[in-house]
Structure 1
Amino acid sequence: METYIIIILCIASFFAGFVDAIVGGGGLIQTPVALILLPNAAVSSIIGTLKIPAFSGTSFAARQYLKKVDMNWKLLSIMAVISFCSAFMGSQLLTSVSNDFMKPLLLIILVLIAIYTFTKKDFGQSKDKNHTPKRQLLYAIIISILIGFYDGFIGPGTGSFLVLGFVAILGFDFLHASANAKMVNLATNFGSICLFVLKGKIIWAIAIPMAVCNALGGFIGAKLAIKKGNGFIRIFFLIVVVGTLIRFGYDVFFK
């Protein structure tokens, strides 16, 4: 493989790790770059390969959050197990069918998310929901099933959807949502990795150097998010949602 291709992929992976550590959505950077630079590779191989740097970057980001932010370990443990299984099944489906039919639906959802986040200025600035333990667990299970499956099947934007779920449904502020989302995202990535390893879909010569760069980006991004707090994360969240919106809009209307 050409050296310049690996270098470009590593640069994209660094920025993907940086963005993903703050608010998720790093896949929106490295996925299209990989698809363009690796036109002869199967889509399932590309997605499977990118799960390695995604897991690496998320791991380093999660470690930074763990030092500074409180985690709901009981809830996270349940969400991690469920999302792992859901992502595994989503990746299994990806190896046999196309995922293009979901893009118009995601486009509509993203428009609504962007409008809501922009107009509701206090969205994600404080913890504002007092769910009963049973209701919180129910919502957490639903989030884990849906987003876990989505990550295994499609992927890009998973971190942002997890942050949204923690903020809008579970009532976390943006900082705690980003921190807890990283732990669930680790489980979804690992679930997909297990499937893709079993299927022999990972291109290790690309995955390993990208993983190093993604980890460095994740380390720096998490440090910045913790330092800047909720307001900064909210702005970054809006930027990533709009970027996701543009990406899926292009796929729906111009491809």
Structure 2
Amino acid sequence: MISIIFLCAAGFLAAFVDSIAGGGGLISVPAFLMAGIPPHIALGTNKFSSSTASFTSSLKFAISGKINFNLIKFMAPLTLVGSILGVKTVLLVDQRILYPLVMVLVLFVGVYTFFQKNLGMNNNFTEVTKNTLALGMLLAFTVGFYDGFFGPGAGSFLIFGFIKIFKFDFVNAAGNGKILNFVSNITAFIVFAIEGKIWFFQGIFVAIFMIFGAHFGTKAALTKGAKLIRPIFIIMSFGVLVKLVLTL
């Protein structure tokens, strides 16, 4: 019972943070591992629970008009394919081979955002061009694969990508990124379930609390806007880096 309470509290906090700036896996995955759940089972169960959170957050962003579905319809299928390949790969290889590359990328994202004070503060999106669409589809596949394979920081990479490629502000980038995050989560969940790598008993309890966390987190993001998302985004980016360094 104590472990369930611990997992539910961690799940609420993870979903709250993730719906604002990504990086929720930094909290939820270690929590599952600390509860004594084997690594692959922890990843699968986390995908199950976090799928409910990302759906809740995506729905609230969509209702608020922060998602460009004309763009997402091209990117989501590639996220789905990438996520499937990522899960299939993680079940075969050691995740630690990705650590050095991800550490460099996360460090770059965090430092760049910290020094670019106006990055993502204004929504300068105008239109989708062939070049930006191609870059966006590459982003969707790559982060989808990464999220299925490993995960920590995937939401942050998506937010950063939407800001740099399409010139969205943090709020619109978070909304569009959350949709792709949901696609990768639900896809990974299905694959993990087929492989028998999910403990549903623990996952259901955590999922309920993640729904509440995502609800309140998304509400805060929509109310406070970029002024709230930017600092949390930077904190979570460096949090991913510290987590990876400590894991080595």
> What residue in structure 2 maps to residue 30 of structure 1?
28
Q: Separation in 2 of the partners of 1:131 and 1:246? A: 37
For 1:81-160, what aligned pairs fall within 5 Å after superposition? 81-128=77-124, 132-160=128-156
Once the two structures are superposed, what CA deviation does each residue of 1:73-129 show, in whole Å capped at 9, x if it has no partner? 121122111101110110011111111011111111222112111111001112346
Q: Confirm or deny: 8 A CA contact 1:88 1:194 kept in the other structure.
A: no
Aligned residue-pair number? 248
2:159 counterpart of 1:172: no
Once the two structures are superposed, what CA deviation does each residue of 1:43-94 show, in whole Å capped at 9, x if it has no partner? 1111001001111111111121112233211211221111011101100111
The DSSP-based 3-state class of the residue aligned with 2:237 is: helix
> What residue in structure 1 maps to residue 18 of structure 2?
20
2:51 counterpart of 1:42: no
Q: Confirm or deny: 8 A CA contact 1:89 1:152 kept in the other structure.
A: yes
Q: Separation in 1 of the partners of 2:46 and 2:67? A: 27
Q: What's the CA shift for 1:130?
A: 5.4
Task: Give the aligned residue type for 1:238.
Answer: I
More divergent stretch after superposition (209-218 vs 104-113): 104-113
Pick one of 60, 69, 77 that aligns with 1:73. Answer: 69
Superposition CA RMSD, Å: 1.3
Normalising by structure 2, we get a TM-score of 0.96
Distance change >3 Å, CA 114–CA 70, structure 1 → 2: closer
Q: Confirm or deny: 8 A CA contact 1:163 1:178 kept in the other structure.
A: yes
2:170 counterpart of 1:204: no
Q: Separation in 2 of the partners of 1:52 and 1:242? A: 26
Distance change >3 Å, CA 131–CA 139, structure 1 → 2: farther
Q: What's the CA shift for 1:169?
A: 2.2
Task: Give the aligned residue type for 1:7.
Answer: I
Normalising by structure 1, we get a TM-score of 0.93
Q: Confirm or deny: 8 A CA contact 1:113 1:241 kept in the other structure.
A: yes
**Identity rate of aligned residues, in percent?**
32
- Unpaired segments of 5 or more residues in structure 2? none
2:187 counterpart of 1:191: yes
Q: What's the CA shift for 1:137?
A: 1.3
Q: Separation in 2 of the partners of 1:104 and 1:36? A: 24
